[in-house]
């Protein structure tokens, strides 16, 4: 009986949409936020100012847009559906807010984001992950973003080490930004109602960002979370990563090795940034290794024998000759010895 009642409610919502001249497109994930209290709460949590330029993703019919136009200097609304664009423009036409609205028509993942201070979004849930990282890597920096996500996705964003939902998304997002859960939003606050519950999160990007190569870091995290039900030892054994990027401008490079397993990564970062790797769920040892330029092979053997198996060793490599970054070939030999020792 409950299934038929739910289906009847969805049909009534669909007819109501038709009465407005709009048929909501499921391919675009169109679920219009209709509860004004939730809209007010999202705007309040964003800390919007009268001098702010706001980027809104997925404005829909403009329930949130018209309120943000009253509180901000300018709203840049990105919408993929031309019908929604026309509906929103018609809604503000002839009002003082008409000249404060700028429309961007197209796919936000393919578009170049403009400058903005605050981002507010009730976006299609299928683009949540790529949009989050597009936003986190956007420059120049913005002040904050308040975004609506599927609840499970939001819980993954804020998950801590040891939680069941802690994953690669959690590690990478929390390395680049501070993420807080703001509110829970039930499915009945949307028209038509989605099949899942939703949550709102607030993202504040770290400024300055951690000075690491994100692609190299993400490659290491990908190895750690490659299979949910596999141990880290099995994951590292099945994937061997060996690379070296040593710049003459740095005094030391940081190597990440899993002793005896066959994984090594040499990152072009300074030693004081090593705390980033402690977010990985595996035992970590920090050390500093000094290699003699003339006879470095015995030094490497001695270094590799000092650490236990199946442990990430995070160490700085410097040259004993001039206290600068060693020859890249030395680093590669050191990584090889550490990874395949014993």
Q: What is the dihedral of CA 189, 136, 271, 311, to 10 degrees?
A: 50
| Nearest-angstrom CA–CA distance, 55 and 69 | 11
What local confidence, expressed as pLDDT, does residue 225 receive? 78
Question: Is pTM beyond 0.85 here?
Answer: no
E strands, the chain, are 32-33, 53-57, 74-79, 101-105, 118-121, 144-150, 177-185, 190-191, 198-205, 242-243, 253-258, 263-267, 284-291, 312-319
Task: Classify residue 165 by burial, with Cβ atoms within 10 Å: 0-12, 13-18, 19+.
Answer: middle
Question: Cα 313 to the chain's mean position, in Å?
Answer: 26
Cβ-contact 306, 230 below 8 angstroms: no
Confidence of residue 186 (pLDDT cuts 50, 70, 90): very high
Confidence of residue 333 (pLDDT cuts 50, 70, 90): low
What local confidence, expressed as pLDDT, does residue 248 receive? 35
Cβ-contact 319, 291 below 8 angstroms: yes
Q: Which residue has the higher pLDDT, 214 or 294?
A: 214
| Nearest-angstrom CA–CA distance, 34 and 17 | 12
Confidence of residue 249 (pLDDT cuts 50, 70, 90): very low
Mean pLDDT of the chain: 74
Confidence of residue 181 (pLDDT cuts 50, 70, 90): very high
The encoded tokens of residue 86 equal 């026309």
Query: Residue 11 pLDDT more than 60?
Result: no
What local confidence, expressed as pLDDT, does residue 16 receive? 46
What local confidence, expressed as pLDDT, does residue 30 receive? 82
């Amino acid at each position: 009986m409950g299934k038929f009642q739910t289906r009847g409610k969805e049909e009534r919502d669909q007819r109501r949409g038709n009465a407005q001249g709009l048929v909501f497109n499921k391919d675009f994930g169109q679920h219009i936020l209709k509860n004004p209290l939730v809209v007010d709460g999202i705007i309040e949590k964003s800390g919007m100012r009268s001098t702010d330029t706001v980027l809104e993703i997925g404005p829909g019919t403009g329930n949130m847009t018209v309120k943000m136009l009253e509180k901000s200097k300018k709203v840049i609304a990105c919408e993929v559906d031309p019908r929604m664009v026309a509906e929103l423009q018609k809604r503000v036409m002839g009002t003082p807010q008409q000249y404060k609205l700028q429309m961007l028509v197209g796919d936000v993942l393919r578009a170049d984001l403009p400058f903005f201070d605050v981002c507010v979004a009730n976006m299609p849930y299928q683009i949540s992950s790529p949009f989050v990282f597009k936003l986190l890597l956007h420059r120049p920096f913005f002040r904050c973003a308040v975004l609506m996500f599927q609840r499970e996705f939001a819980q993954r964003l804020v998950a801590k080490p040891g939680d069941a939902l802690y994953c690669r998304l959690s590690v990478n997002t929390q390395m680049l930004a501070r993420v807080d859960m703001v509110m829970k939003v039930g499915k009945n606050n949307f028209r038509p109602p989605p099949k899942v519950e939703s949550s709102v999160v607030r993202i504040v990007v770290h400024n300055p960002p951690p000075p690491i190569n994100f692609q190299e870091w993400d490659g290491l995290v990908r190895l750690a979370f490659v299979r949910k039900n596999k141990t880290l030892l099995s994951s590292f054994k099945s994937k061997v990563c060996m690379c070296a990027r040593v710049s003459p401008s740095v005094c030391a490079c940081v190597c990440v090795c899993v002793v005896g397993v066959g994984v090594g990564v040499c990152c072009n970062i300074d030693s004081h940034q090593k705390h980033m790797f402690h977010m990985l769920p595996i035992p970590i040892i920090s050390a500093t290794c000094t290699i003699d330029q003339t006879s470095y092979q015995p030094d490497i053997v001695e270094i590799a024998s000092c650490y236990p198996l199946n442990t990430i060793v995070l160490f700085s490599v410097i040259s004993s000759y001039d206290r600068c970054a060693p020859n890249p070939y030395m680093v590669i030999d050191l990584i090889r010895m550490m990874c395949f020792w014993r």
